[in-house]
Amino acid sequence: MEPAAVLAFAAIAFTLVVVPGPDWAFVLAAGTHDRVVAPAVGGLMAGYALITLLVAAGVGPLVAGLPLALSGLTVAGAAYLIHLGVRTLRGTGRVGDVDAYAVTASSPARYFIRGVGVSALNPKGLLIFLSVLPQFTRSAGGWPPPAQLATLGGVFVLIVALFYLPLGYAADRILGVRPRVARITTYVAGTAMVLVGVALLVERLVEAAR
């Protein structure tokens, strides 16, 4: 596979990862408690790895060619983001201090599962893997297309880890000693997830009404 194609995709992938969105909100919410940062980011990585496998297996183009299936995934992802945002907002009132939050925080396993849901059902993430990823495969690249897709997906997953792990642990170091800032950050993260979910639902409804 051509190194230039990998580097070009890595540059685009990094740009997409650093732009705030549902992943950011989820990692910042998890970052207010140190022990769930790694499971939360691990869940995001697992979700994107799952999408990579599906795209590499040929399911991605099939879904992209079925408008109803893509609409269903979008609605499911939007509903999950709203659900997760509401759960996050309900927890803002309990973040009185770091120790209190440690008691009420969900288990690492639950954060891992939530991370899988956030990334695997992230409509924007799905569109990236269905439309952007295939553009960097080369028929004359020497590697079979599934291997190229898997490699590029692995690059994306690696960038997710390299960016979100420091972000999550930095949030814990900065916000953990400032309960009021932690409470505000959690509120902003929850609100962002709800707004993104609602916006996606409205966008889908507008498209369906045309």
3-state SS string over the chain? CCHHHHHHHHHHHHHHHHCCCHHHHHHHHHHCCHHHHHHHHHHHHHHHHHHHHHHHCCHHHHHHCCHHHHHHHHHHHHHHHHHHHHHHHHCHHHCCCHHHHHHHCCCHHHHHHHHHHHHHCCHHHHHHHHHHHHHHCCCCCCCCHHHHHHHHHHHHHHHHHHHHHHHHHHHHHHHCCCHHHHHHHHHHHHHHHHHHHHHHHHHHHHHHHC
Task: Note if the pTM is more than 0.95.
Answer: no
pLDDT band at residue 99, thresholds of 50, 70 and 90?
A: very low
More confident residue, 133 or 59: 133
Is residue 62 over pLDDT 60? no
